Amino acid sequence: MKHLFQTLVSGLAAILLPLSVSAESDKNAELPEVVLLGDSIRMNYQTAATETLEGKAKVWAPADNCRHTTFMLENLDRWMEGRNPSVIHINVGLHDMFLSAQTGKPRHTLETYEQNLKKVFAKLRELSDAKIIFATTTVVDEALQAKSETYGRVVRRNEHVRRYNAKAMYVAKEFGIQVNDLNAFMAKSGVEKVIRESDGIHLSPEGCEIMGREVARVTMEALKK
């Protein structure tokens, strides 16, 4: 009798478990999809944003560091294939303004960045009907970069961050794209708290949480509209 009871329980569990998994899958399938695109800063805040949006949206992001605007243009088709997001949250610029050790100049001129960004926005509009949110490039600390083991020199300057952000916001306005001013939010939250002390560019553990929650908040507001 004991063996019969155990057999019945096991059989019932085998029936109910797939139903439970299926119900959960159906529930997730009904959630709107959010796509996060961007460089290593996106990769920093991605986990916190995903956790904050749990149960409200399903989040997808490429495993790639999306790097700069040229790289993004070359890979958008691959990243967006088969996706039907409601919102695309994107940041790109940090690698465009990366300073060459040989010339001391940014990888891409401001003019190239502008033209590439226009192509990125146009391509996203072609590939999806999603609402697009552009996040500005975050603050950097030049002194921390110079003394870091990672760089040992200044590889990004706030002067360029400001100029490239201004151009990006101009292009976003031209395309009717919402701007998530993460640069201003970071400054308001306290750069010393948000930035990674070891390299002066990436986000600290606390910064990942702070910025991730803000990305999630802005994304949720867009989903409600």
Q: DSSP character for 179?
A: E
Short-list 157, 159, 202, 211, CA closest to 184: 211
3-state SS assignment for residue 88: strand
Residue 26 has pLDDT above 80, yes or no: no
Q: How high is the mean pLDDT of the chain?
A: 91
Task: Verify that 40 and 10 share a domain, yes or no.
Answer: no
DSSP string over 32-82: PEEEEEESHHHHHHHHHHHHHTTTT-EEE--SS---SHHHHHHHHHHHHTT
Dihedral of CA 113/223/208/211: which sign?
Answer: positive
pLDDT above 90 coverage of the chain, percent? 87
Cα 53 to Cα 218: distance, rounded to the nearest angstrom: 11
Task: Verify that 74 and 142 share a domain, yes or no.
Answer: yes
Residue-wise pLDDT for 89-148, tens only, equals 999 999 999 999 999 999 999 999 999 999 999 999 999 999 999 999 999 999 999 999
Q: Could you tell me the pTM of the whole model?
A: 0.88
Confidence of residue 28 (pLDDT cuts 50, 70, 90): confident
Residue 13 has pLDDT above 90, yes or no: no
Domain count, the chain: 2
Q: Is 143 exposed, middle or buried (0-12, 13-18, 19+ CB in 10 A)?
A: exposed
Confidence of residue 53 (pLDDT cuts 50, 70, 90): very high
Residue 18 has pLDDT above 60, yes or no: no
Cα 116 to Cα 119: distance, rounded to the nearest angstrom: 5
Task: Verify that 41 and 12 share a domain, yes or no.
Answer: no
Task: Verify that 133 and 148 share a domain, yes or no.
Answer: yes
Average pLDDT rounded to a whole number, residues 50-66: 98
For 87, the domain range is: 31-224
Task: Verify that 55 and 111 share a domain, yes or no.
Answer: yes
